Chains A and B, each alone.
Chain A
């Protein structure tokens, strides 16, 4: 707390020099009197609440089996022909490849693709995990890297992420903090992905699924 007080005091010292006068007006738009922010008691629940408020679909399941069922059900409902997924051990262990195949749905894994644009562009569903999730905003933190194609989360119209609850962080600053400590090892790409892609450019009317997926699902496992 004293750090904060010192910090703000040094700002005030500067403001007396006249360079910046904080407004004296009771700045209704800036004071958080009626905040519902508050401490985040149940991160998984808050995550799902935020995601669904944005039109995404969130579900908490107990184990891998339930998660697999969700994915299979989703593929059936969407009448998917092709699912593309990250090349990740936990997705391997999820065990959706065989059942999907049996159901006549092709599964491509993001590895050694001759033309990723071709495949990811044709896929109906993209499946990935996430490095972290942010409860405050319903956000997935997606890292790029070998096996973790950005296009998997971006090109197909339906996107589903399977994330262990242990990876849920409370706030955006916490998530940023995960990378701030060692910027030398930042992946070439990190994306904070929050809900379905959208545009309001046509008379402010909402259009979902503008360039990225409009149908977004996050399964929290554990």
Chain B
């Protein structure tokens, strides 16, 4: 039974075939469309509201939560300070268990390693559990293209990821990949795959998915997972799911490949008690997800299931550049999705508007850092700097401050544009000279006279039209506070 890609439909984009869209100057356009989409807004609102409520309730019931957060930050800080040592330790531990370790500098390396492995095994079916790292490097598409002769069938097994894959779509949220798809659309997609009209109820759709994916689980030659955490001291890889797909992907096929970002390490096994307590609570409002799975190397002698061959691919892809810099904290992320859920911008636009694998606050921070400013010029500005992300982050990453630093980086690199540079040079000149400030404000009051109407400003030109297009703007007051003070307040 082949899973065919559905024919291209007018109203949906085959984002996977096109590759990842560039974030350059695209955010505003995509955001404009997203903001006008009421159905999308309702979906996002439902998801984020439930997630945040769940998270708040479950953290509220944990008296040691603030302390855990500080410890999590410190453990990650320690990990990054000696990342090379921990990576070496991880590799040694995995190899001592009979596993294989490969250090991949970038996505190309990862694709090559896995493709060659698949070829050497004569693999046809590959099952995958959710891995943002593999999305980041577009693993599926590149394997299918570069190793086309193998006729690989790569099947996502997380329900949301599978549906997205079938629809030719990409995930729009780290934890709830298809929160942007409504039931009708999902029914369409699954019915097409089923070859019959499925009823639009969760039971029927879920049961079909279980049955169809079970076939894949049981016939897979290779299982690929990501890793939520890696423990350097023991060589253990931890996967966290509710569906059980990661456990199936790692227990049934004879070969298991883990693609793990190098920043996912923690030094000691006991460090997990901090992170395991935080991840599910922050991400889904659960104390623990249904399956928290600890894999240490291939199966032991006497085991009948579990992988016979274990491969750990440790991927850099731009992460090491951040070590020891002002932006290192961005590597502390455990991909829980809490920042997306509380972000007031994400709430209005959804994930696809960000034009990147990673969306929301963490996406706005790491996309320019991993891919360079040219690829994501808009993203550091896609924020009102409210700081809700920092407040929600279980590791305490000051995402809003990192966004500010990214904006500064752009300015220093001359990417801010002439208009802004002139405007803020003017701002500086005016604001450090009280006389000039006073003159400018008086001039402003004169200038606004023809533009003022009934206590409000008429539509203003240039960048300020962004304001007056949708909001009333108050005029400058008749007398400034300064003048009133002089007259005697």
Give A residues with C-beta under 8 Å from B: 7-8, 11, 14, 19-23, 25, 27-37, 50, 54, 110, 113, 116-117, 121, 136-137, 139, 144-151, 154-155, 172-173, 176-177, 179-180, 183-184, 186-207, 209-212
Contact = CB atoms under 8 A, between A and B. Distances in A.
Given A116-B305, A186-B236, A199-B159, A150 B247 contact: yes
A40 B289 CA distance: 21
A19 B327 CA distance: 11
A189 B248 contact: no
A180 B296 contact: no
Contacts of A22: 66, 70, 396
A37 B62 contact: yes
Contact of A202 (B60, B186, B277, B329): B186
B236 to A, nearest CB: 7
Contacts of B50: 204
Interface of B: 43, 46-47, 50, 55-56, 59-67, 69-71, 73-74, 77, 93, 97, 157-160, 163, 176-179, 182-183, 186, 202-203, 205-206, 209-210, 213-214, 217-218, 231, 233-234, 236, 242-245, 247-248, 250-252, 268-270, 272-273, 276-277, 287-306, 329, 390-392, 396, 398
Given A145-B302, A192-B291, A34 B61 contact: yes
Given A25-B391, A183-B234, A186-B234, A32 B296 contact: no
A27 to B, nearest CB: 6
Contacts of B56: 28-29
B59 A32 contact: yes
Contacts of A197: 242-244, 290-291
A145 B182 CA distance: 42
A54 B289 CA distance: 11
Of A139, A187, A200, most buried by chain B (CB within 10 Å of CB) is A200
Contacts of A206: 202
A116 to B, nearest CB: 5
Contacts of B47: 204
Nearest to A118: B218
A148 B69 CA distance: 36
B219 to A, nearest CB: 9
Of A136, A172, A186, most buried by chain B (CB within 10 Å of CB) is A186
Contacts of B97: 188
Contact of B300 (A14, A27, A146, A202): A146
B117 to A, nearest CB: 20
A191 B247 contact: yes
Contacts of B292: 191-192, 194
A110 B251 CA distance: 15
B102 to A, nearest CB: 19
A8 B244 contact: no
A212 B64 contact: no
B301 A8 contact: no
A25 B293 CA distance: 36
Nearest to A201: B160
Given A110-B304, A176-B272, A189-B296, A211 B178 contact: no
Given A29-B60, A151-B251, A188-B97, 12 more contacts: A7-B71, A149-B304, A183-B231, A186-B236, A188-B295, A188-B300, A188-B306, A189-B250, A190-B293, A203-B46, A212-B248, A212-B291
A192 B288 contact: yes
A30 B69 contact: yes
A13 to B, nearest CB: 11
Shortest Cβ-Cβ A-B pairs, 5 listed: A146-B302, A212-B244, A183-B234, A32-B63, A201-B160
A211 B294 CA distance: 18
A150 B272 CA distance: 22
A8 B398 contact: no
Contacts of B67: 8
B98 to A, nearest CB: 9
B276 A172 contact: yes
A19 B325 CA distance: 11
Contacts of B217: 211
Contact of B65 (A32, A155, A207, A209): A32
Nearest to B287: A137
A211 B248 contact: yes
A113 B248 CA distance: 18
A71 B316 CA distance: 50
A27 B248 contact: no
A113 B305 CA distance: 10
Contacts of A31: 60, 65-66
B269 A188 contact: no
B183 A202 contact: yes
Nearest to B289: A194
Nearest to B286: A194
A139 B288 contact: yes
A141 to B, nearest CB: 10
A211 B210 contact: yes
A23 B393 CA distance: 11
Contacts of B270: 173, 176-177, 180
Contacts of B390: 23
A153 B157 CA distance: 18
Contact of B163 (A110, A180, A201): A201
A180 B59 contact: no
26 contacts: A20-B396, A28-B56, A32-B59, A36-B61, A110-B304, A121-B214, A146-B300, A146-B303, A173-B277, A176-B272, A177-B270, A183-B236, A188-B295, A188-B306, A189-B295, A189-B296, A194-B291, A195-B290, A198-B242, A198-B243, A203-B46, A203-B202, A210-B210, A210-B242, A211-B157, A211-B210
